[in-house]
Structure 1
Amino acid sequence: METRVIILLSIVIVVFIINRLYVRADEKRKIALKDKKTLSDKEIISMFEDPLTGEKAKVSETQNNYKYSDEISDDGVFYDKHRRTSEYVLNKYYYEDGDLEREFILIKNHLLDNGFKFKLFTDSELDFLEETITFSSFEKWHCSNSYHKNQLSVFIASIKAKSNNSRYSSRTENYSIVFWIKDFNFFGHYCFFKKPIVQNIIDVFIDEEKEVIKEYQTEIIKKSHQENAIKDYFKTINFENDLEIEIINSNIIIRITNVASYENLIKLFDSIKNSEGK
């Protein structure tokens, strides 16, 4: 009898001790949670997104120890090259006009709205671009934000000019918007550069019919008898931006030398669509 009583008392004491330890641990856990810092949406976003590279991380995957607002979903606040960024997120977190991140988002949204899809260039496509005069003229260049629809590709080129090339040495360039039109019915290799103002004054006395593209200097690498095809294609192109153009056989590469911005994209975008539809 005494043995049973001792066993029962021992069990009660063990259960009591375990229960007290659990309660104390639970209280400590609750106190620790109260002491944790609560980050704002803005702080969390600034820590885990890189709009320029497109790298994306979900708050739910990286912020296990922090509270955050459920006002918008994880996918909504991060830069996703494949998805449109909402006006709400754009105006709340990218509200500074002219800011490069905002301009890239506006460009992305416009291309997605017009049926373009994000896709990286293949190695063979990059090799082709590397061999063009447009990009071999630079010391370094990198392609990002490449969107494609049918035979038209639009991308952002991050470029660094060659200091020993007088054509580019006076320019401070960073990002350029580039249009790549494929399947152009042409055989030859031409480059076109915006003429200096002085040259345009001199050309007033020259027959304009000799110009392939008005107010643009022509550099012929491989002569073609299809120059009228160039004149016809660029007849409706908007030249409000300063452009550098290279036509190499069935490819047209147009680089906007003005600052990379949504406004400058729009100036050229619609006229290229219209020319493509002819």
Structure 2
Amino acid sequence: MNKHLKILVGALIAFFVISCSSSSNSDDEPAPVIPVLTTTAITSLSSSAAASGGTIDYDGDFPITARGVVWSTNTNPTIDLPTKTSNGSNVGSFSSSITGLVANTLYYVRAYATNSEGTYYGSQISFTTLQQQQQVLVLGQSYQGGKIVYLFKSGDAGYDANIQHGFIANSNVVDNNYLEFGCINFLQNNTSINFGSGGANTQALSLSCLEANTAITFCNNFVVGTYTDWFLPSKNELIKLAAFNAAVDDIYFNQNLYVSSSEVSTTKVWAVDFSDGTAGTASQVFKNDVDNNVCPIRKF
């Protein structure tokens, strides 16, 4: 074998030895393994807080040293942010309290797990905090010029499941205001018995019935502080008030008949009996009868 051929053969043998050695070393190195974790769905959501957490099913062959959730108004939050929790270590499930949130705001949250190889994240989920919580109102509560005597419920005209509405009566004039109705021998044709019509009834009647010292003028002109929108209830509004009368503290409708703004004829008007405290029985009374109580209410 000549000199040049020996050099070529030696080079080829060295190449194959090095290549095989490198291949063998590469196969011996373990591939990196990523921990398996998930983010827990949001619960206990409010205007300023929420609950989440995570589950670490596998630590990636390196012990978990830290775990929790991290959140932000931007996507893909990381533990570089201060908005995170620390919920121990190791595999398994954990719970996290997310606090200090802003009402009606979209947030993104991810569970995280840290081991000696780095920090890994679960799937990203999003949630929107609730609107700022409003004061919960109750019957008998002092509120906006008087006390709450009725809270609207499903089926009532004007009911809104998201906002409390109702009627207020002033405790100073619930009882012992005996006035004739007004509009004697006159019929305002558009008055209604329906729930929700008392305000419109009173406004229409006040344009036609101008006599002083009547139920209509008294309610139309009634003022408490800055509240000027008082009215004489309709027949069905009074019936609702009667049904809830017993549940109202310190503002019971103690008299028998309360006159409504719902006319029957030129000489009669509907009134509602509160004496039984429950049903609210309606009857027709004369407009010039001064034995019926008058109580203005307002809607909020």
Greater strand content: 2
TM-score where L is the length of structure 1 = 0.29
TM-score relative to the length of structure 2: 0.27
Find the structure with the greater CA-based Rg: 2
Is the helix fraction higher in 1 or 2? Answer: 1
